[in-house]
């Protein structure tokens, strides 16, 4: 089996990869953010970024973690629950600015680490969802 | 006793505004804190108000140096969603534009590095050479900064006379081999300011996830043109220069060698340019279906990633996320300047070839 094929079982999920839009996708209710980071770092995966998306009609937020594994783009999809997500910064340093930006732009609390806003925006707008602010 | 020195947001060593707060003990830097956000334009959110034609022009403004990279990235992402394959000639032209952009970016950086080293003659020489590259870009596109070459489904302009461009590339390469590259790879004046300075170890580079020449100078042989080829890179024969010392010199040498590789790729692409159309589809009838598309491009500074979501029955995307190379490389500066001399910090921060407009978006 290839590394790609073993990852779902290492993450204890029963779903398999789906190829979509130029990335391999893995989505499952059983996925855990920190377990994903541990497994990807163990395979020398490289965290590329995290895409935060607000779903229409107050459907909540999703976070898609994009990794590179030997040139293959892998995406792990998560639904944000209780407006918070566990930090992976202690497992993967590359997550530092990305997590801080997600807090700053979407108001999602990143738990398990101390952080300051990235200060991309003006100081009175920290942790406020840009889209809701616009409304 | 330690003291703090702010560098920026407006400082002669910075090409764009950002701030480094340096904690020093005497002349030695102990730690640094980085502040960005001085160029935030809300481009990701603005992109959600643009259709598939307008968004290309918008994303071209993310960066003034690698503008072509951003149009290529957004077009590739939308093409993924719409399942459009541009014609072979368009893919070759995309490679040519991308390599010309890499050339002018690397030569511009060499000039800036020359200035920071205190070698102003080199700055003038590099900018004279870069002007030749800008002339080639202008000959092809009619523009010097935002080339407006990419469109969803291909490119906007053809290269009518590849032989003329080839001759210009030949002249350009001759000048670079004669002046820029020897100075940065053999000159004692240049190397004494760069050797052993601003070291980023391979382990730290891997942990921070750095990209592009910054990663390759720390021993990580990653290059998307090789690992995940896009456009026509699969048909190009080229080397990926890698250095292992992780210092400013290594970053300099990697870029110098990449200049030669870019010239080689340009010669291949121009001589093998396939005949045919330069775009596919009719923009007036094109509709983008619901879906997600990703695009990764090896920009001069490293990997750019676009994540685009298109909703159902809509002219505009519901989400566009951009991750630029400086965004992921910049945190490494904190580790590069630790233990360095204060006087070396301008050169060290410049050695990642930072772009803050890209970073802030």
Nearest to B306 by CA among B123, B120, B75: B75
pLDDT greater than 50 at residue A135: no
Nearest to B81 by CA among B314, B299, B359: B314
**What distance in Å separates the CA atoms of residue B354 and residue B190, rounded to the nearest whole number?**
20
Q: Encode chain B (361 residues) as per-residue pLDDT tens digits.
A: 788 888 878 887 777 788 888 999 988 999 998 888 888 888 988 998 899 999 999 999 988 888 999 999 999 999 999 999 999 999 999 999 999 999 999 989 988 888 888 888 888 888 888 888 898 899 899 988 899 999 999 999 999 888 888 888 888 788 888 887 887 778 887 888 888 999 999 999 999 999 999 999 999 999 999 999 999 999 999 999 999 999 999 998 899 889 989 999 999 999 999 999 999 978 778 888 999 999 999 999 999 999 999 988 888 998 999 999 999 999 999 999 999 999 899 889 888 888 888 888 8
Domains assigned to chain B: 39-332+343-360 (1.10.645.10)
**Residue recorded with tokens 């973690």:** A65
pLDDT greater than 50 at residue A133: yes
The minimum CA-CA distance between B40 and chain A, rounded to whole Å, is: 6
Q: What is the pLDDT of residues A7-30, one digit of tens each?
A: 888 888 888 899 988 899 998 888
Closest in A48, A52, A121 to B323, CB measured: A48
Q: Which residues of B touch A56 (CB under 8 A)?
A: 311, 318
**What distance in Å separates the CA atoms of residue B131 and residue B171, rounded to the nearest whole number?**
12
B224 touches chain A (CB under 8 A): yes
Q: Give whole-number Cα distances, A118 to A15, A107, B10, B39, B166, in Å.
A: 35, 13, 19, 13, 45
Q: Which residues of A touch B222 (CB under 8 A)?
A: 46
Q: Is B191 helix (H, G, I), strand (E, B) or coil?
A: helix
CB A55, CB B312: distance < 8 Å? no
Q: Structurally, how many domains does chain A consist of?
A: 1
Instruction: Kindly provide the ipTM of the predicted complex, given to two decimals.
Output: 0.87
CB B107, CB B126: distance < 8 Å? yes
With CB atoms and an 8 Å threshold, state whether A21 touches B207. no
DSSP-assigned letter for residue A55: P
* Token reading at B249: 């010199």
The minimum CA-CA distance between A109 and chain B, rounded to whole Å, is: 19
**What distance in Å separates the CA atoms of residue B98 and residue B106, rounded to the nearest whole number?**
12
pLDDT greater than 60 at residue A127: no
Mean pLDDT of A71-78: 94
Owning domain of residue A8:
3-134
Mean pLDDT of A56-82: 90
CB B99, CB B265: distance < 8 Å? yes
Q: Report the CATH number at residue A73.
A: 3.30.460.80
Q: Give whole-number Cα distances, B123 to B109, B114, B115, in Å.
A: 9, 5, 6
**What distance in Å separates the CA atoms of residue A44 and residue A41, rounded to the nearest whole number?**
5
pLDDT of amino acid B346 = 87
pLDDT of amino acid A120 = 66
């Amino acid at each position: 089996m290839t590394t790609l094929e073993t990852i779902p079982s290492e993450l204890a999920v029963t779903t398999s990869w789906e190829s979509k839009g130029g990335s391999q996708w893995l989505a499952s209710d059983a996925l855990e953010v920190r377990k994903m980071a541990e497994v990807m770092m163990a395979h020398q995966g490289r965290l590329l970024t995290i895409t935060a998306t607000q779903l229409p009609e107050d459907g909540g937020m999703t976070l898609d973690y994009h990794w590179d594994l030997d040139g293959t783009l892998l995406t792990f999809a998560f639904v944000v629950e209780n407006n918070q997500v566990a930090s992976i910064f202690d497992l993967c340093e590359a997550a530092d600015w990305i997590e801080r930006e997600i807090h700053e732009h979407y108001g999602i609390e990143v738990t398990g680490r101390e952080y300051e806003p990235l200060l991309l925006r003006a100081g009175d707008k920290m942790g406020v969802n840009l889209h809701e602010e616009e409304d | 006793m330690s003291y703090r020195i702010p560098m920026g947001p407006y400082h002669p060593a910075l090409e764009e505004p950002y701030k480094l707060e340096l904690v020093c003990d005497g002349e030695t830097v102990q730690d640094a804190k980085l502040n960005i956000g001085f160029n935030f334009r809300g481009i990701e959110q603005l992109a959600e108000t643009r259709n598939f034609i307008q968004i290309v022009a918008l994303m071209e403004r993310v960066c003034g140096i690698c503008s072509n990279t951003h149009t290529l990235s957004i077009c590739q992402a939308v093409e993924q969603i719409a399942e459009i394959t541009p014609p072979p000639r368009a893919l070759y032209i995309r490679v040519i534009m991308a390599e010309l952009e890499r050339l002018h970016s690397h030569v511009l950086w060499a000039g800036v590095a020359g200035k920071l080293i205190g070698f102003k003659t080199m700055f003038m020489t590099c900018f004279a050479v870069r002007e030749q590259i800008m002339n080639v870009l202008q000959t092809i596109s009619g523009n010097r900064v935002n080339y407006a070459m990419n469109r969803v489904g291909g490119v906007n302009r053809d290269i009518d006379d590849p032989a003329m461009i080839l001759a210009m590339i030949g002249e350009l390469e001759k000048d670079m081999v004669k002046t820029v590259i020897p100075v940065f790879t053999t000159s004692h004046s240049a190397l004494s300011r760069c050797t052993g300075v601003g070291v980023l170890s391979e382990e730290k580079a891997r942990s921070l996830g750095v990209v592009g020449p910054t990663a390759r100078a720390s021993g990580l042989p990653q290059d998307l043109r090789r690992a995940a080829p896009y456009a026509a890179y699969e048909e190009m024969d080229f080397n990926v220069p890698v250095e292992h010392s992780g210092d400013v010199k290594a970053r300099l040498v990697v870029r110098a060698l990449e200049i030669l590789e870019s010239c080689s790729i340009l010669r291949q692409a121009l001589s093998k340019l396939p005949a045919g159309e330069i775009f596919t589809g009719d923009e007036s009838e094109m509709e983008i279906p619901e879906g997600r598309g990703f695009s990764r491009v090896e920009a001069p500074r490293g990997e750019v990633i676009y994540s685009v979501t298109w909703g159902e029955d809509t002219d505009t995307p519901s989400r566009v996320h951009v991750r630029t190379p400086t965004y992921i490389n910049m945190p490494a500066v904190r580790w590069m300047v630790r233990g360095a001399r204060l006087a070396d910090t301008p050169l060290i921060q410049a050695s990642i070839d930072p772009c803050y407009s890209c970073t802030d978006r």
